[in-house]
Amino acid sequence: MKKLTIDAEPGEIAIDPARTAIVMIDMQRDFLEPGGFGETLGNDVSLLAKAVGPAKALLTWARKLGMLIVHTREGHRPDMSDAPWAKVERGAPSMRIGDPGAMGRILIRGEAGHDIIPELAPLPGEPVVDKPGKGAFYATDLQTILQNRGIQNLIVGGVTTEVCVHTTVREANDRGYRCIVAADCCGSYFPEFHEMGLKMIKAQGGIFGWVSDSTRILAAQDSPGGR
């Protein structure tokens, strides 16, 4: 398979698509639609909508290239045995994890709100990783899935930039993966956290990884090198 060079900050990065996976984080109704977990926390969920189109374009591009695509979902078992009390009782939300909401029980696996939004629905054969925490490596088999495919690079999108995307990128960076965050495929309820979160990833020579965007990733050039 051909190698690709992607324009990014802090500098361009050459990748082998066969060793690169898209990790699409928590594009769930619970975060993007009214009546879900995100809204119970007091957030304006409409702020995340602009990431959907670019994320869809990124998935279409990656599918054409035959890249591994992994989707994640944050949520808990119906009996909530995997939901830490410290998470359930945190803050003063309008409803708590497990309460009955407009899209079923808040942040519970199997409920309508826990589903990935229809626009970004996984295709058959694309692994979906259910995670109880913010990071996609914690208490999941994500690393096994990536290792079995020889993956070395992750192109990451999803929500929210400074919470689950950031935590996952930090986890992945410590495990030796090169992460490229697709900025316009990510979203936050706090635009300033989105901007600062991306800056934090690419600062200091790319302390956590690289930042690019869907336009530059889709325009990636053939490259002689790359891993």
The active-site residue, picked from 164, 179, 185, 186, is 164
Which residue of 62, 70, 159, 182 would you call a contact of ligand TIU, by CB under 6 A? Answer: 159
Mark residues 80-119: x for contact with ligand TIU by CB under 6 A, - for none: ----------------------------------------
163 binds ligand TIU (CB under 6 A): yes
214 binds ligand TIU (CB under 6 A): no
26 binds ligand TIU (CB under 6 A): yes
Identify which range of 116-124, 142-150, 156-164, 203-211 contacts ligand TIU by CB under 6 A. 156-164
Q: How many residues bind ligand TIU (CB under 6 A)?
A: 10
52 binds ligand TIU (CB under 6 A): no
Q: Least distance from C-beta 171 to ligand TIU, angstroms? A: 13
Q: Least distance from C-beta 14 to ligand TIU, angstroms? A: 30
Identify which range of 9-17, 147-155, 158-166, 176-184 contacts ligand TIU by CB under 6 A. 158-166
Strand order in the sheet with 68-74: 128-131, 68-74, 20-25, 153-159, 178-187, 210-212
The two counts, helices (H) then strands (E), for the chain are 8, 11
List all residues 6 or more positions away from 46 whose beta carbon is below 8 Å from its beta carbon.
none
The Cα–Cα gap between 209 and 207 comes to 6
Q: Are 203 and 1 in contact (CB under 8 A)?
A: no
The Cα–Cα gap between 162 and 168 comes to 10
DSSP letter assigned to residue 10: S
Sign of CA dihedral 201, 202, 203, 206: positive
Which residue of 20, 40, 153, 160 would you call a contact of ligand TIU, by CB under 6 A? Answer: 160
List all residues 6 or more positions away from 5 whose beta carbon is below 8 Å from its beta carbon.
12, 13, 14, 15, 220, 221, 222, 223, 226
Interface residues toward ligand TIU, by CB under 6 A: 26, 31, 41, 74, 134, 159-160, 163-164, 189
Q: Which residues are catalytic?
A: 26, 131, 164
